[in-house]
Amino acid sequence: MTYKIQCKCNRVQLSLHNEPIVHAYCHCNDCRDLLDIPYHSVAVWSEENVSIDKGQDSITIYQHPSLKMQKHFCSQCGDVLFNTNIMDWRVVSQLLIARCYNNKLPPELVSDRHVFYEQRIINIADDLPKYLRGSKGALFE
């Protein structure tokens, strides 16, 4: 499977290859600090499974001053293509993917869990498993 995504102005186009590592709602403090969001719905690929098909020179990288995290965005339209985490994984917003698929997220990418739920700033009432930290380990009861 390959997913094709592009920024709003279409200058940057990426391919996301194979299965994502995880597709989840992330409540971690680091994402919140990097992106100024309460939490977000993401699909995550390893670095080698993401290729830039077009517009490499339009990508600007913001390096967080203290965390090993980056935000990669289009310098023309400002659209965030992905952020990176400490594993160098490419964390892609499901909103961006959905927008590139006629506002319908491919069903296999829909979040199936919450991660870093112990760092949440908002409680979620749904039936998905809520992992206190990463997607392996203890669950919120």
Binding site for Zn ion (CB under 5 A): 7, 9, 11, 26, 28, 31, 74, 76-77
Strands (E), the chain: 2-6, 13-17, 22-26, 40-45, 50-54, 59-63, 70-74, 80-84, 90-93, 114-115
Could you tell me the smallest distance in angstroms from the CB atom of residue 35 to Zn ion?
Answer: 9
Dihedral over Cα of 95, 65, 76, 73: its sign: negative
* Closest distance of CB 14 from Zn ion, Å: 11
Q: How far is the CB of 6 from Zn ion (least distance, A)?
A: 8
| Cβ-based nearer residue to Zn ion, 7 or 97 | 7
Among residues 1 and 78, whose Cβ is nearest to Zn ion?
78
